[in-house]
Structure 1
Amino acid sequence: MSSSTTPHPDSVTLTEGNGGLPCIQVATPRCHAEVYLHGATVTAWTPTGAEPVLFTSAAARYQPDSAIRGGVPLCAPWFGPGTTGSRTPAHGFFRILPWELTDATDDDGTVTLTLTLDGHAVPADLGPADLTASYQVRFGDHLDMALTITAGETDLALENALHTYLRVGDATQISLEGLDGCRYADKAPGGRAVNAQSGDIRITRETDRIYAHDSTVTVVDPTLGRRIVVTKEGSASTIVWNPWTAKAVHLNDFGDDEWTNMICVESGNVQRHALTVAAGQSHTLRQCVALAAL
């Protein structure tokens, strides 16, 4: 693995993770964190003195052909089945390919990792990919992620999302602030195609919503006594997801009762907010996750 030759500070350790997949461990006075080169998937971030902020399923599969269930999988260059409804694999190939660690620094306990993907190396069965990607992840008092995708010789039709699984004490007790008044598409069974959010979001059933939203979302968690603040740039969509009871039992890489301890708040550009990146140009999707007291 060429990443093993990348110089890195003592706070960054390259090791063998679950399923034998290469994994990066970060340990500083500010936080502990973990990211797999498989899919460039951040699977843990725990600020010192706090409960873990990200949720990763105990049943997650760590296999070269599967996405890791939890943490922050990368959805690109399409989301779900894509705008045509027929793209495979679901959510694109970014989250199921090996990335390369190309830089690692530690600035007073804040570690920055840079991982890269060359789309020209994408297997033919996943489709043509005239693009390159760079993912910069900063672990410290905050978790800051910036995914930059650059088009090749032709314009790039692009959907993207940072599919962030947040850990909560009890999903039925949380509320989500910041989406009041936003229109959304409801993808859950029985949902209407277009809706407008009224007030804060409460999780009372399977929730799968794509909001037209470009600002901050705050998860208020009275059980763990904290607020999780998600800010973003370069994003016109916010996706909120929780599988609830019925769907959870049909996910073979997710525990039947784990839905109670997670909520996905995803920053992206999907469906009607899909992008066209001009040839040779780049788009950066950035998301910052921070803790605050109630």
Structure 2
Amino acid sequence: MKVLIADDDEVSRLTLSSLLKGYGCELHVTKDGHEAMAVINQTEAPELIFLDWNMPGINGVEITSLIRQNLIDSPPYVIIVSSNNKKEQIIEALAAGADDFITKPIDGLFLKAKYAVAERILRVQDRLINTNKMLEKLAYYDELTGVMNRRAGIVAVDIEIERCIRKNELLAVALLDIDHFKHINDFYGHPEGDKVLKQFSKHVQQTLRPYDVLCRYGGEEFLIAACLKKRDESELLFERIRSTVENMDMEFNQAIDVTTSIGVCIHQPSQHSKVANLIKQADEALYEAKGAGRNKIVTVPD
């Protein structure tokens, strides 16, 4: 754990340093508020901070207040250190955002207990942050394939519509369907079908540009949105995707041939269409591509 000590009193500073060295933490020691802020503002900020109340430049309570104004994902645990243990001063420190308060002269056993509490709370905080990140990922990304889910994808397409209108560019909105996917599930089994979905999304993602939109729209259907300068870029992009899928090496327990049908709708920047309307047109084009024998691309308008 990275720990910062900020204290202009040399005796107090050395005492704290000496005691904390025994805990195996990474220590950073400063003599005033400005030095402390320089350490706090580093990319890898300290997780636990001991701040003397009275320091030249910026005092400990002022630093605490500045820390709490900065809404970061992993806020540090702050302990104010002071020789004054009056109730009013402790309340002021806690109101500024301090997590704890310790008085001078510093007692080793008392410090050990405070350190253990800080460590425990920081561990809980880390678990909560990781859980929230996982929940956020589940809210926006498809668990099986790792690409955006339907809800996030629709929002992303809406953003792309506005972006293309501003840039006066075309937007290709496409629905892709894995051909005969029900047969793959029925004949090879659902675990193999899941592998096909993962490999399909991986290969399509690698064919797209980093800023293009790809989401799992539902089942074996995927939605793509890509800003384009010219219409023929759409033909090249989706033919590349169709060809990539057709030539995928899908050998798991046995070889599986996979192809995709693609329905594309081209949105003009002057149209200001809604997402639902573009997807509806892409779906109609997809239906036509499947009706033409699958492994085809149909674009509307022609």
TM-score range normalised by the length of the shorter chain: under 0.3
Larger RCO (CA within 8 A; separation ≥ 6): 1
Larger proportion of helix: 2
- Larger strand fraction of residues: 1
Q: TM-score, normalised by structure 1?
A: 0.25
TM-score by length of 2: 0.24
